[in-house]
Amino acid sequence: MTYTASSGDALRVAIVIPAFNEAESLPGLLAAIPAQVDRVVVGDNGSSDATAELARAGGAVVVHETERGYGAACLAAIAWLAHNEPPDILVFLDADLADDPAGLPLLLAPILAGEAELTLANRLPLAEAGALSGPQRFGSWLAGGLIRLIWGHAFADLGPFRAIRWQTYQQLGMADRNYGWTVEMQIKAAQSNLRWREIALPYACRRKGRSKVSGNLWGSFRAGTKILYLILAAFFRQGWKSRA
Ligand SMILES: Nc1nc2c(ncn2[C@@H]2O[C@H](COP(=O)(O)OP(=O)(O)OP(=O)(O)O)[C@@H](O)[C@H]2O)c(=O)[nH]1
Ligand SMILES: [Mg+2]
């Protein structure tokens, strides 16, 4: 199945879902994914529950990645797509049903219209009460502010639900293997002056399963320090390069 671009081209969309012990949420999530989506690939990090079986039962391809980490799971799933069915548009979606797959047409619209290479779901305007923690909101504000200060691109959020043209993704050279995946993509989008759009989409509280990142202090701390580290490292690396 495909989506149609304003140029009339039929574009294939693939969704990457990094999942670790999300057996309770995954069946509902997979059932809510629009039929036009061509392929769903779940990057599983050795879940001890039925995540892999339920993902397959829900029609997804499951790629196993031994190294724990959000980025590592995404990279493994993307490698499978690169070797099997490279799509035209790559979408990222968490497995815990906090993002609603029904928002996909809105997320894809600027890309299908040829107006953007990257679109990101902004969780802040429509987030359910309690869905975004204080540290998450502060982290998005601080990271967004630093990226605007350094590269002039004003992102409001670092949300996981996003879409990017496959060719554009390939040019970014994504590498982060854990908490820095989302911010790395936004830093590189800003550095390469990509045309991007943020779209306000609903964001719900996690109702099932255990939080791996924001819902626990250690996860939030590690995510926060990794995000700050990546922004400052990119700034200094760029600074050195421009002086070299
Ligand atoms: N494969 C894999 N997936 C992960 C890992 N850590 C998190 N995830 C997945 O990444 C997504 C985001 O993790 P969450 O625990 O929802 O993090 P969060 O959204 O910041 O926190 P909550 O608000 O509590 O949901 C979920 O689909 C997780 O299953 C990991 O180490 N490996
Ligand atoms: Mg979540």
The number of domains in the chain is 1
DSSP codes, 108-135: HHHHHTTS-SEEEEE-TTTBPTTTS-HH
Range of the domain at 118: 3-131+157-209
Coil, helix or strand for 43?
A: strand
**230 domain-assigned:** no
CATH number of the domain that residue 195 is part of: 3.90.550.10
Coil, helix or strand for 165?
A: strand
The yes-or-no verdict on residue 29 having pLDDT over 80 is: yes
**104 domain-assigned:** yes
DSSP label of 234: H
The yes-or-no verdict on residue 39 having pLDDT over 60 is: yes
For ligand 1, mutation pick of 213, 214, 222 (most atoms within 8 Å of CB): 213
Q: Which atom of ligand 1 is nearest to the CA of 131?
A: 23
pTM (predicted TM-score): 0.95
**145 domain-assigned:** no
Q: Residue 226: which residues within 8 A CB-CB, separation 6 or more?
A: 176, 178, 179, 180
**121 domain-assigned:** yes
| Alpha helix stretches (DSSP H) within the chain | 26-31, 51-57, 70-83, 104-112, 134-151, 166-172, 181-191, 217-243
Give the tens place of pLDDT for each residue, 227-237.
Answer: 999 999 999 99
**53 domain-assigned:** yes
Give the tens place of pLDDT for each residue, 84-130.
Answer: 999 999 999 999 999 999 999 999 999 999 999 999 999 999 999 99
Single out the residue of 61, 74, 67, 72 nearest to residue 30, CA to CA. Answer: 61
Ligand 1 neighbours (beta carbon < 6 A): 18-20, 22, 43-45, 68-70, 73, 94-96, 98, 206, 211-215
